[in-house]
Amino acid sequence: MKYYIRTFGCQMNIYDSEKMAGILKTLGYEPARDWKEADVILVNTCSVREKPDQKVLSALGEFKKIKKEKPDAIIGVCGCLAQRAGYEILQKAPFIDMVFGTTNIHHLPKLLEEAKSGNKAVEIIEEIDEGEAELDKYPTVRENKYTAYVTIIRGCDKKCTYCIVPYTRGKERSRRIGEILQEVQYLVEDGVKEIHLIGQNVTAYGKDLGDVKFWELLYAVANVDGVERIRFTTGHPRDLDEDIIKAMADIPQVCEALHLPIQAGSDRVLEAMDRGYTQKEYLQKIELLKKYIPDIALSTDIIVGFPGETYEDYLETVKVVKEVEYDQVFAFKYSPRPGTPAAEMEMTEKPEVVSKWLSELINIQKDISFKKNLQYEGKTVEVLVEEEKEDGSLVGRTRTNKLVHLKGRNNLLGRLVNVKITQANRFSLVGEVI
């Protein structure tokens, strides 16, 4: 019996898919090379903007064809769109056999049984499932052998006015530190070198537990023997305090890279988004980061065309982008999400104008990213070798999360090596092992 999982969206979804693969493995399934040979197809969906919504429906249209060859094949839809609009999807795509949400993934074995017996297996619960921690019982099946995601907190309490996440993933729930460390231990024993702690809002870790802070978790993870690198995403600027920044600087394994979404540069827009900081406060945090960790690589998320945003507001975002000099920027056009407060606000700028702002911003950043990459030429950096291509060449990442292509040499997979950068491209570096 074989499974195929198509994942849309963020790291949380990737991790959830790895868990679902783990559940299916436990049930005796093996991964299919292609969806056409699968007995179970799962589509793990995202709902953060309208585009991913549409992509899900077109993927389902494709997978539907499997029913001709294999009438008993099960098609399941899960993740954020399923949580938000599961019944709607079922109406649009009645051939689906199984629908479940983001907090009851551990019910997959039961749901699969039900679907196999010919019933529609639908379980979308509004409340967070009490038994969620049962998921800890299952292994993850990962594509990357040397770097692994570990969920430390689920949900988000921030309620930014544009964001669907609090509705699709519920309130913040931190995983117990013992469970996290046990998972890290297991991963290291399995050959993992780099631990990537993930959550919608990792810097809020522990608030609901009461007795532990995010920076304490960083130290605890670093103390697990064999952890060579630590990353975390995503932090919220409001919760990123000096204690966390000090720990980042102090712990050798914490990489010099941070994704810190600003969303907008204008105070007026930040206020309308309910982000809880001003441009000045955000820039103060950036300054502090650069003070403690001088060679830190920064990245961010930006939304362009929020309701009420004017050209002057947009220029504030451009100003920040130029001032901070991010290594990478993920910029998106604002997309109203059903049920969020911003969806009720009037859209004030024409879509064509917003598209122009967006492409201008992306072009500005392209040059900055290239300039940042050029600074690597001639330097020697530490690379974790993660992949060997068919032609024998190797691919790895620097501590600052830059992709590096290397001339092939055997026995380097999973190793941290020193690499001299010989060439910088727009999106990657080329180097030689020394």
How would you classify the pairing of strands 403-406 and 429-433? parallel
- Residue 340 touching ligand SF4 (CB under 6 A): no
Site for ligand 5AD in 214-273 (CB under 6 A): 261, 263
**Separation between Cα atoms, residue 187 and residue 192, nearest integer Å:** 5
Distance (Å, rounded) from C-alpha 307 to C-alpha 330? 19
Does 204 help bind ligand SF4 (rule: CB under 6 A)? no
Question: With contact defined as beta carbons under 8 Å apart, do 32 and 5 qualify?
Answer: no
**Binding positions for ligand 5AD, 405-434, rule CB under 6 A:** none
- The SS3 assignment for 305 reads coil
At 76, list the tokens.
């399941």
Cα angle, residue 47 at apex, residues 41 and 52 outer, rounded to 5°: 70
307 binds, among ligand 5AD, ligand SF4, none (CB under 5 to 8 A by kind): none
86 counts as binding ligand 5AD under rule CB under 6 A: no
Torsion of CA 400, 172, 78, 299, to 10 degrees: -20
Rank residues 66 and 298 by Cβ distance to ligand 5AD and give the closer one.
Answer: 298
**Residue pair 35/66 in contact by the 8 Å Cβ criterion:** yes
Q: For residue 106, state whether it binds ligand 5AD (rule: CB under 6 A).
A: no
Binding mask 148-167 for ligand 5AD (x = CB under 6 A): --------------xx----
Q: Indicate which single residue of 193, 229, 337, 402 sits in contact with ligand 5AD (rule: CB under 6 A).
A: 337
Taking CB positions, which residue lies at the least distance from ligand SF4?
9
- C-beta of 48 vs 248, nearer to ligand SF4: 48
Report what 337 binds from ligand SF4, ligand 5AD, none; CB cut-off 5-8 Å by kind: ligand 5AD
Q: Give the pair of three-digit tokens for residue 420.
A: 């001299």
> Of 9, 155, 261, 431, which one interacts with ligand SF4 (CB under 6 A)?
9
Beta strands in 241-296 (DSSP E): 257-259
Beta bridge mates, 150: 197
Stretch that binds ligand SF4, among 108-116, 164-172, 316-324, 402-410 (CB under 6 A): 164-172
Interacting partner of 261 out of ligand SF4, ligand 5AD, none (Cβ under 5 to 8 A depending on kind)? ligand 5AD
Please name which of 149, 402, 152 lies closest in space to residue 296, comparing C-alpha atoms.
Answer: 402
Tell me whether residue 203 or residue 279 sits nearer to ligand SF4 (CB atom). Answer: 203
- How far is Cα 99 from Cα 121, in angstroms, rounded to an integer? 6
SS3 225: coil
Which residues of the chain form contacts with ligand SF4 (CB under 6 A)? 9-10, 12-13, 46-48, 79-80, 164-165, 168-169
In the complex, which residues of this chain contact ligand 5AD (CB under 6 A)? 48-49, 162-163, 261, 263, 301, 303, 332, 334-335, 337
